[in-house]
Every structure is written in structure tokens, then in C-alpha cells.
Amino acid sequence: MGNLLMNEWIKIFRKLSTTIMIVLLLLGIVTMGAFYKYQETTSTTQVNENWKQELQTQISSDQEGLTTAGENNANMKTYYERQIALNEYRIENDIAPNNEQHIWTFVGDSQMMISLAGLFSIIIAAGIVSSEFSSGTIKLLLIRPISRVKILLSKYITVLLFGILMLAIIYLFSSLVGLVLFGLPSTDVSHLAYSNGEVIERSISFNLVIQYLLSSIDILMIATMAFMISSAFRNSSFAIGISLFLLFMGGTATILLASWFDWTKYILFANTDLTAYFDGVPIVEGMTLSFSIVMLLIYFLIFHLLAFGIFAKRDVAA
């Protein structure tokens, strides 16, 4: 398996297009950094002296929301409860909401680049099987004493590794750019998380890693789908087209549908944003974290059953 992964890795990284992808990603982060730096120098942020009072007003308005909206929507109830608990914690422990730009806020902002990384991972996922067919090299690949399942698995793992590499590049490079442009935070900052009715302080860099991984779930699913289409139909443009359309439109379309139909919760894209369960509101009432995880697993399994089932059986005649 190690050798197979190495083969796939070499094939990807000897391509010019892969180098271009990485350069674009790095350029994107630098441009973003420059833009934020420019904004920071032109606008002056003042320290708000009355932040405690403002939070207090926010809390009472949230409490109002809790009694009205929270009554008939369990998810909204959790949301308000969380907001109130977090703000109360801030007042009690004297943690002012911080507007300062520093390395970690920049790493957080760089999550925007994840869609670019997703785009690249999808291109790789869509091409990794179908390009062997279009170049004819599949014939030399499948006549080795290695089962087709192993070959396809090595390709899928390569896609995953490529995605992880892209994420790591964004995280590490934006840390570097953030450190150079904005420096470390002036006071100790940590992420306030709310779980089981309690507020806990978490390391901000660790929390960002979790956030990066959570916001990559939709990309993981779409890349898996692109991989499935690519192995089943052997056509990379078809796979890329459908996948990118879904990557950019799927979420929006699901939100639109969610306001009318309850069954929207079974759609893949209603379940890909797991951060909703930690910091926001799920799009259909009554959805829970475990429901979404089960849905994601079901989709994941279906994609792989199709990909492996078709790839292992089908005749290579072209």
C-alpha cells in the first residue's frame, strides 16, 4: 500500500498544475493578509469602555428571544442559552470582546481559503481515476498483481492526504503571515466554548484546528462524490462540473428548501456544516449532531459502495 500511495503522490506532484494550485493558495493568503493589514492601518479601533453595559443589554434582549422563540424551537433555545451564558461569563470574568487583529484572528479569517483548497481537492479527486482512463495508462495499472480495490483505495487515500496537505498549508502559512503582519495577541486570548450548560476556555490555536476540520466536511463529502463519479463514469469534466456546481450552489439551495420542506434535513448539504451545532443554529428544526453524523456516514458509504462496486467489476475495453 505504501508503494501505491507513493506512486499516486509522485504522479500528482510531478504535474505543473499541482504546483500552480499551491502557489495560488499561498498567493491568496498573502493577498488577504495585505488587505487586512491595509484595513487595520486606515481604521482606528478604540477600546470600548462601556462594553459591560452593552453586553448586559444584549443579554436581556437574548432572554426575551429565549422566552418567545425558544418556546417552540429547541434549536433556537440552545442558541439563546449559549449566547447568554457566554456573555455572562465575559462580564463575570472581565473578558472584553476583543477587536484586535492578531495571528489567530488571521488564521481564523483564512478559513475563507478552504473553499479554494476544496476546489483544488475536487479537481484532484475528479481526475485521479478518470485521467488514467483518458491517457490509457489504466491498462498498464490494472494488469499488476494488485487487486482493483487496493488500487482504488490508494487513490482515495491520496485524495484525502492531498486535502489534508492543503489545509495544513493554509493553517501554517496563514500563521506565518499573521505573525509577521499582525504579531501575537497583546493579552492572553482563549476561545470560549459552551458545552453542557457550562462555559469553558479553550486554547485558541487548538480550537482553530477543530474549526478547520469541521469546515472541511462539505469538501470531504463533495470530493468523495467527485471521486465516485470519476471512477464510475470515467469522465473528469463531468465529475468536476457536477461537484463544483454542488460545492457553490448546494448549500444555498438547501437553505432555500429548508424554509419550506422538513425533508430537507436528509439532503447532504443540510448536514455538512457541523459548526452549527457548536456556534449556530441547524437549518432544520430538531436536527441533532448525531443525526447529521449518521447522515454523513450514510452518504459516505453510498459514494464508496458505488465507486468501488463499479470500478472493481467493470470491463476495461476502451
Partner 1 sequence: MSAVLTLEHVKKTIKGNPIINDLSFSVQAGEIFGLLGPNGAGKTTTIRMIVGLIGLTDGDIIVSGKSVKKNFEEAVKNIGAIVENPEMYKHLTGYQNLKQYARMHKGISKEKIDEVIELVGLTERIDEKVRTYSLGMRQRLGLAQCLLHDPKLLILDEPTNGLDPAGIREFRDHLRMLTETKGMSVIVSSHLLSEMEMMCDRIAIIQQGTLTDIQYVRDFVDNDQMVYLIETGPLDNVKNWLQQDWNATFVDSGFTVSVNKEEVPLLLNRLIDSKVSVYSAKEIVKTLEQRFLEVTTHTNGGL
C-alpha–C-alpha distance, residues 132 and 139, integer Å: 8
Which amino acid does the sequence have at 53?
Q
Looking at the Cβ atoms of 49 and 313, the one nearer to partner 1 is 313
Distance between start and end Cα atoms, the chain: 27
Rounded Cα gap, residues 255 and 112, in angstroms: 20
C-alpha cell at 306: 458505488
259 residue type, one letter = S
Nearer to partner 1, 13 or 38 (CB): 13
> Residue 110 or 236: which CB sits closer to partner 1?
236
Q: How far is the CB of 128 from partner 1 (least distance, A)?
A: 13
Contact 130, 235 (CB under 8 A): yes
Find the angle CA(147)-CA(149)-CA(153) to the nearest 5 degrees: 125
User: What is the number of other CB atoms lying within 10 angstroms of the CB of residue 137?
Assistant: 12
Residues that bind partner 1 (CB under 8 A): 3-4, 6-7, 10-11, 14-16, 135-137, 139-147, 313, 315-317
CB 20 → partner 1: shortest distance, Å?
Answer: 13
Which residue number, 16 or 47, has a Cβ lying nearer to partner 1?
A: 16
> Which lies closer to partner 1 via its Cβ, residue 99 or residue 147?
147
Nearer to partner 1, 68 or 137 (CB): 137
CB neighbour list of residue 115: distance below 8 Å, 6 or more residues apart: 219, 247
- The CB-of-8 to partner 1 minimum distance in angstroms stands at 10
Q: Cell match 453595559: residue?
A: 53
Contact residues for 269 (Cβ-Cβ < 8 A; gap 6+): 218, 246, 250, 251, 253, 254
Q: What CA–CA distance (Å, rounded) separates 248 from 14?
A: 29
Considering beta carbons, is residue 5 or 179 the nearer one to partner 1?
Answer: 5
Beta carbon of residue 11, minimum distance to partner 1 (angstroms, whole number):
6
Minimum distance, C-beta of residue 154 to partner 1, in the bound complex (Å): 10
Output the nine-digit C-alpha cell for 110: 483564512
Rounded to a whole number of angstroms, the minimum distance from the CB of residue 140 to partner 1 is 7
In the complex, the smallest distance separating the C-beta of residue 136 from partner 1, rounded to whole angstroms, is 3
Among residues 66, 58, 125, 47, the alpha carbon closest in space to that of 87 is found at 58
